[in-house]
Structure 1
Amino acid sequence: MAPGLPTAMDRPHFIGIGGAGMSGIAKILAQRGARVAGSDAKDSATAQALRGLGVTVHLGHAAAHLADDASCVVVSSAIREDNPELRRAAELGIPVVHRSDALAALMDGLRPIAVAGTHGKTTTTSMLAVALTELGREPSYAIGGDLDAPGSNALHGAGEIFVAEADESDRSFHRYAPEVAIILNVELDHHANYASMEEIHESFETFVGRIVPGGTLVISADHEGARELTRRLDGSVRTVTYGESADADVRVLSVVPQGLKSEVTVELDDAPLTFTVSVPGKHYAHNAVAALAAGVALGVPAAELAPALAAYTGVKRRLQLKGEAAGVQVIDSYAHHPTEMTADLEAMRSAAGDSRILVVFQPHLFSRTRELGKEMGHALALADASLVLDIYPAREDPIPGVTSELIIEAARAAGADVTAVHDAAEVPAAVAGMAKPGDLVLTMGAGDVTDLGPRILDRLSN
C-alpha cells in the first residue's frame, strides 16, 4: 500500500504549476488527497488536466493567488525571488519547499528508482513506468514529459515502486535516496550551474552517495563520462554496468533496426535475451537496457520485464509523430544538446531509408548556445536541410554576441544546408516550399518549436 500525504503538504501551493516537473508532483499530491492550488504564466492542456483532478490553477502570478492557509509553497529553481507569490509566502511565514524536496517526500516509504544522466532521463523513466504498469506492478512515477496525454507525466500508484527522473541541472537530485539509481551518461551541460566536468563528476558522486545501503547503481559501460565516474567511486555501492563494452555486466550484443522499432539482444547472467524496443535508434535501445537492468536490480524477473518494455511506444516530444500531410511526416524532437540532436538524427536516418530529413531547430538557452553552438551546428550536418530559429531564452537573459548565427556558421562550415528564420510564423510556408512527398520533417528543441508541428501540417495540407 502506497503511503499517504507527506507532513505539511496537505494544502500545497505551486508557483509554475504547469511545468513538467511541478505538474507531476501536484498531480500525485492531488491523487493522494491534498488540496492543491497553484499558478502559471499561461493556460495549457496540462493546467486543464490538473483542474480535472480538482486542482485550483490561477493564471498569472499575483500575491492574491496564495491562500492564507496554504501549508507550503512549492517552487523550482526557475522561480525568481521577486515573484509576488513567493514574497507573500514570506510575509505569511509559509514554508517554501523546493520541488525536489517535495518529490523526495513523495518517494519516502517506497522503493525508488531514480533515473539520472545528461540525456535520456525522460525516455528511460517512461520505459520503466510503462513496462512496470504493463506487468501489473502499479508503480508511482514522475516523468519530465507526457506519455500519451496532457497530465500523464505522473501517477500515484498502489504498488511499492516509485520511478522518477533525477535532475542534475540544479543539483536537485542530491535530495533523493533511491534504492536503485540509473546514470545513463555524464557530460558537461547546464553551464549556468556547472563550470567544469570536475564539478559535474563531483555532483554525480554526491548523487551516488545518496543510494540507500544495499542499493544498486546501474551505469553505462560505454559512455566515457560514466566510465570515469565509475572509476572514481569507492566501491561501497553495488554497481551494475550495461552497454556494448566487453566488460559490461549486462552486455548489448546487437541492436537490429526494424523500421521504427529495434530488436535488441543482451547477455544477462551469461545467457542471451532478445526483446523488442518500439522506438527507433541505438540510443533508445540502450535506454531500454538500462531500464531492464534497473528493474532486475529491484527484483523484477528479466524474462517478464524485457517483453513488457515493448509496450513503451514513445513520449511526447521524443521523436513523436505529429502527423502526415502531402506525403510528408512531421515528427517532434525535444533534443537540444548536441549529443541528443545527433542521437535523434541518427535514429531517424536509420529508419528513414532514402527519405530526406528536414529539421526546424530552435536553440535552447543562451549559455548552452555559447558553449555548444559549434557542436549543434555539426549535428545539423546530419540533416539534408535545416531551418534555424532564434534562441529560446527560457529562464535566461540574453548574452551579448550570442545568437543562432554561432550555430549556423558552424553548420555551414561542416557542409550543412542551413537557413536562418527569425520569425517562427514564416516556418510553415518555408517548410512547405522545401518538402517533397516522402520527406521527414523534425521540429527540434526544448522550447516552443513544438507548437510549429500542427501549423506545418496545416500548411502542407493546403
Structure 2
Amino acid sequence: MMKNLDGINQVYFIGIGGAGMSGLAKVLHQKGLKVSGSDIKASSNTENLRVLGVKIRVGHKRSNIKDYDAVVVSSAIQTQNVELVEAKKKKIDVYQRAQMLALIAKGKNVIAISGTHGKTTTTSMASLIFERNKLDPTFLIGGELNDIGSNAKYGRSNYFIAETDESDGSLLNFDPDLLVVTNIEADHLDYFETFEKVIALFKTFLQKIKAGGKAIIYGDHTHIKNLLPFIKSEVISYGESESNDFYYDNFRQKDLGSSFDVYYKGKKLGNISLKVPGEHNVLNSLAALIVGIEAGLKFSQIKSALKDFSGVKRRFEYVGKINGAFIYDDYAHHPTEVNATLKAAANEKSGRIVCIFQPHRFSRTSFLAEDFGYAFEKADLVVVTDVYSSGEKPIPGVSGKLIADSIIEKENYKNLAYVPRLRDVVSFLEKEVKSGDMIITMGAGDISSIGQRLLA
C-alpha cells in the first residue's frame, strides 16, 4: 500500500454515500483525483457528489471494479461485498476511510478532534474559524456545517482539520500536531467489549502526538484527567472550573443562543456569543477557540467567527412548526448526548418538551439501557420507538422497550409511551401535541423523518 498519495490518480469508493465517505470523496475530487463510487441507494450525499462531477453507481456490482489505483471501503461494508471481493481479486490496494485520510494528512499540520461526544460540532467550529480567517484549511466533518454548506473541503494551506473516529479504533492512523479530546465515555462496546479498552485507545492516541505538538483536553472530565500522567506533550486544558487554563463563566441562554465570558489563567479575554444553545456547546467552542489561538489567531478574530456559527445538521436543528408546536431534530443517541440536548431545551421552554427517541443499535441499547433511564429527566413527555438496527443482528430480549422500562424504573416516569413503529408515532403526536410544545426527535437512525411527516 502507498505511503502517500503519489501514484494514486483513480479512486473508487465502496459505500460512498455516508457522511464520512462522501466528505473524503469530495476532498480527493477537489484535489484533482478521478473519483467514482457506489452505494446501495441514492441520497443527498451522492447527489451532491454527482453534481460536482463524481461518477456515482447505485448498487454494488462486480463489473463496477475497473483498474483503479485504490479502493476505499466504508466500515459499514461487509467482507463478502462483491465489489470488495473483486477489488482484492484484482490486487487493488484497499484502504479503510481513516487510512486514506491519513495519506492525505501526510506532511500537513494535523488537527485531530476526538472524543465520545461533541467532536462533530467542535470540528465544525474550528473549521469555520479557519475559513472565516482565510487560513484555507482542508477539513473533514462527520456532519454538514450549515455556514459552509458542506462536510468537507480541500484547502491549499498546510492545515488539516479532521474529526477522528474512535468507534473502530481507526483514529490511531493519525499522528496529530494538535489533538483535542472532548470527553471519554462508554460507547461502541460492541467493538471494544469493555470501557477500559476505550480508555486505553485514547491513552495510546494521546501518546501519538508529534514532537512539539499539544493536547487540548476537557480538564474537568475524570477519565481524561486520569490519563494526564501518560501524556508526554504539552497539555492545554479547558472546562468549567478555574483550575483549567481556559474556562468560562456567566453563561446565559436565550432564544436558542448563548453567551459566556472566557478566561485564560484568571484573566478575562472577553465575551463570546453563539447561535446555538447549551453549555455543552460552550465547551465545544472553548476547544475550537484554543485551536484557533494555537494557529496564531486573535481572540477577536475567533469571537467573530464563532458568532456566525449556526450549527450542524441534525444538532438541535429547527425543522418547522405545526399547530403552534415547534419541531427540532437532534442526532443524540447516547445518554450523555440526550441529557445535554434536553438540558439545553429546558433552558428555553415555555411549553412542554416532547422527546421522541429512537434507540440506535441493539448492542448500544443493551449496554447502556440503565444509563438511558436517567437521561430524560428534563422531558415532559417521552416517546420511545423500537431500535434502529444500523445493520446489526437482533439480540434476544433487546428492544426499545428495554429503554422505556429503564426510564420508568429510574425516573418513575408517568408521561411515557412506547410506540415501536414510526408511522404510529406520527399519529400519536398528531393527537397528543399541543400549541407551545417543543418536539425533539432524537437518534442516529431514520427518526428525523418524523418531523417531515408531521409537516406533510
User: TM-score, normalising length from structure 2?
Assistant: 0.95
Q: 1:42-81 residue pairs with structure 2 within 5 A?
A: 42-67=41-66, 69-81=67-79
| Aligned-pair CA distance for 1:149 | 9.0
Which segment drifts farther, 75-84 or 113-122? 75-84
Look up the SS of the partner of 2:259 in the other structure: strand
* 1:420 and 2:418 matched: yes
- 2:388 matches 1:389: no
1:318 has 2:315 as partner: yes
Q: Provide the residue aligned with 1:194 in structure 2.
A: 192
Match of 1:26 in 2: 25
Are the counterparts in 2 of residues 254 and 266 from structure 1 also a CA contact under 8 Å?
no
Match of 2:397 among 377, 391, 401: 401
Q: Which stretches in structure 1 are left out of the alignment for 5+ residues?
A: none
1:425 Cα deviation from its structure 2 partner: 1.4
Mapped to 2, the partners of 1:227 and 1:276 lie a distance apart of 28
Q: The residue matched to 1:109 in structure 2 has which SS?
A: coil
Letter in 2 for 1:406: L
Figure out how many residues of one structure are paired with residues of the other and give that number.
450
What pairs with 1:93-242 in structure 2 (closer than 5 Å)? 93-148=91-146, 152-230=150-228, 232-234=229-231, 236-242=232-238
Can you list the C-alpha shifts for 1:193-212, whole angstroms capped at 9, x where unaligned?
11223211210011112211
Inter-partner Cα distance in structure 2 for 1:60 and 1:447? 21
Counterpart check, 1:344 vs 2:332: no
Tell me if 1:305 matches 2:302: yes
Specify the alignment match of 1:327 in structure 2. 324
- Counterpart of 2:180 in 1: which secondary structure? strand
Check if 1:373 corresponds to 2:369. Answer: yes
Cα deviation digits, residues 299-329 of structure 1 (max 9, x gap): 2222321231111111100000011122111
Counterpart residue number, 1:285: 282
Q: CA RMSD in A?
A: 1.6
User: CA 1:402–1:53 in 2, change beyond 3 Å: closer, same or farther?
Assistant: same
Distance (Å, rounded) in 1 between the aligned partners of 2:44 and 2:38:
14
Q: Equivalents in 2 of 1:75, 1:295: separation in Å?
A: 32
Distance 1:35 1:151, change over 3 A: farther
TM superposition outliers: structure 1 runs of 4+ over 3 Å:
none
Identical columns (%): 38
For the residue of structure 1 that corresponds to 2:431, the secondary structure is helix
> Which moves more between the two structures, 177-186 or 155-164?
155-164
For 1:10 and 1:154, locate their aligned partners in 2 and report how far apart those are by CA, in whole Å. 20
Letter in 2 for 1:217: A
- Show CA shifts across 1:332-383 (max 9, x none): 100000000000000111122x221111111001111001112223212321
Q: Contact between 1:49 and 1:150, CA under 8 Å: does it hold in 2?
A: no
Q: Distance in 1 between matches of 2:54 and 2:426?
A: 36
Normalised by the size of structure 1, how large is the TM-score?
A: 0.94
Which residue in the other structure is 2:260 paired with?
264
* Partner residue, 1:83: 81
Query: How many angstroms apart in 1 are the aligned matches of 2:54 and 2:148?
Result: 15
CA distance in 2, matches of 1:21, 1:111: 20
Moved more, 128-137 or 97-106: 128-137
Tell me whether 282-291 or 128-137 shows the greater mean CA deviation: 128-137
Q: The residue matched to 1:251 in structure 2 has which SS?
A: strand
